[in-house]
Amino acid sequence: MTLDLIRDYYDYHFTVNRKIWDACITKLTDEQFLEAVDYGVGSIRDHIVHMMSVDNAWFGDLIGEKFVAHMDPEHYPSREKIRETWDDVEQKIRGILASLDEGLLAKPFPGSDEKFSHGQMLLHVVNHGTDHRAQLLRMLNEHGVETFPQDYIIFTLGRM
């Protein structure tokens, strides 16, 4: 595992997040965006807020920030506020990724009893995003929105 590969995974992560937003979420009515769902973490809005919250929390832990409470979807009344916050979280993460040292990847992540490395944490965050994007794509499809595959290979081959 190398930092270049990790950074590429995050380019994929951010690219797919933006594509879901731009190509799918913008097509929803406010009612569809906020509709309660008994699957995953709730509405489409709730999924997005959860995703950016988890990304922010893990990267805060990575740089030693005091734990930031998870973001409450109720504090994001508009898509504009969500997009603005998601952009801020992305820029924060990109800045952190740019400054990481290769030697960090093998070091144990704090609190993991040396069973979970920083490199594994970095992969976990992208994997977590993939799981929730799959849930989002399913919900979007149920609302009649045309979706797309989110496979890493499609991104890598430049087809996304």
As a whole-number percent, the residues of the chain with pLDDT over 90 amount to: 79
What per-residue confidence (pLDDT) applies to 157? Answer: 93
78-104 confidence digits (pLDDT tens):
999 999 999 999 999 999 999 999 999
Distance separating alpha carbons of residues 8 and 79, to the nearest angstrom: 27
132-151 confidence digits (pLDDT tens):
999 999 999 999 999 999 99
Q: Does domain 3-156 have CATH number 3.40.50.1820?
A: no
Structure pTM? 0.92
58-69 confidence digits (pLDDT tens):
988 888 887 677
pLDDT confidence of 159, banded at 50, 70, 90? confident
User: In residues, how long is the chain?
Assistant: 160
* Secondary structure letter of residue 110 according to DSSP: T
What per-residue confidence (pLDDT) applies to 16? Answer: 97
What per-residue confidence (pLDDT) applies to 27? Answer: 95
Question: Mean pLDDT throughout 99-126?
Answer: 89
Burial of 147 (0-12, 13-18, 19+ CB in 10 A): middle
Domain boundaries, the chain: 3-156
